[in-house]
Amino acid sequence: MATVGYPKLAVKAILARLSITIAVVITLAGNSSPQAAPPEAVAQYIDHDLSLDASKLANEWKLATPVVFASDWQGRNPDPGRETQVRLLWSSRFLYLRFDCRYRDIFVFEDSEANGRRDHLWDRDVAEVFLQPDPSRLHFYKEFEVSPNGLWIDLDIFPGGIADLNSGLKRSVILDKKQKTWIAEISIPFAALTPQFDPTKIWRTNFYRVEGSKEPRAYMAWSATNTPEPNFHVPQLFGVLKFNK
């Protein structure tokens, strides 16, 4: 969850509302010409639940076409050494994501709650996905983050506040220091995302990476948010997520 400096959760709600307002103004002011079509990601259907194991690419993942990004939040300065590939699968009960991340340096928290949850995880290296099941509710969406050492956080984002989602997220993470890659697989119950999942409906989404121990850190986005300073909370510029069966 990015704005530069990442505020504490207690005041994050106020700053999130402010950052959304600023982002809307900036976007409208800087985009008098028609915008390009948003990028599209596709989640591929599987007819069974998937056991997570980041140490190998299960055959199911090979069904999914990855989306790839290596540029910053403005769509500039591509860095192949920090490239991210994201694959998506879905079953009747779960949405699955696999992040394949190249890295230059690793900066992580060593402490967490007993279940691996870590508040302020965005202050260290993370891969993130924002999911918006109902695009008609622009400022309502879910945020999920996972770190190279397997810590995680999930958040419910809405006007006027931010809350822990308690989604039931599960994850498997592996770090390969020799290859300078880390891989995270996560599963999210659809029941935590939407009251009634309909695979014919189009969702909105965005994928992000944050890396670095001090500013300027690397803030990378699949669909560029185009803000002057790093800010991932620009839902009007999310990409499209479709469910293929």
Residue pLDDT, tens place only, 173-183: 999 999 999 99
Res 160: pLDDT: 87
Whole-number pLDDT of residue 34: 59
In 91-179, where do the E strands start and end?
A: 94-102, 126-132, 141-146, 152-158, 161-164, 170-176
Q: What confidence score (pLDDT) does residue 4 get?
A: 52
Question: Could you count the other beta carbons within 10 Å of the beta carbon of residue 64?
Answer: 22
| Residue 3 pLDDT | 62
Statement: residue 27 has pLDDT above 80: no
pTM greater than 0.85 (yes/no): yes
Stretch 220-244: mean pLDDT, rounded?
A: 98
Mean pLDDT, residues 116-138 taken together: 98
Q: What is the largest CA-CA distance in the chain?
A: 50
- Reported confidence tier of residue 21, pLDDT bands at 50, 70, 90: very low
Which residues lie across from 210 on neighbouring strands? 126, 219
132, 131, 111, 134: which is closest to 123 by C-alpha?
111
Report the candidate in 157, 232, 244, 239 with the shortest Cα–Cα distance to residue 204.
239
Residue 128 to residues 142, 205, 220, 224, 235, Cα–Cα distance (Å): 11, 10, 10, 14, 14
pLDDT at 215 over 80: yes
Q: pLDDT higher for 43 or 12? A: 43
Average pLDDT over residues 193-211: 98
- At residue 120, φ and ψ (nearest 5 deg) are 60, 30
Using one digit for the tens of pLDDT, what is the confidence trace for 51-82?
A: 999 999 999 999 999 999 999 999 999 999 99
CATH 2.60.40.1190, applies to 9-244: yes
Percent of the chain scoring above 90 in pLDDT: 84
- The tokens describing 189, both together, are 């119950």
Instruction: Check residue 1 and give its pLDDT.
Output: 65
* Mean pLDDT for the chain overall: 90
Q: Is the pLDDT of residue 130 over 50?
A: yes
Q: How much is the pLDDT for 36?
A: 84
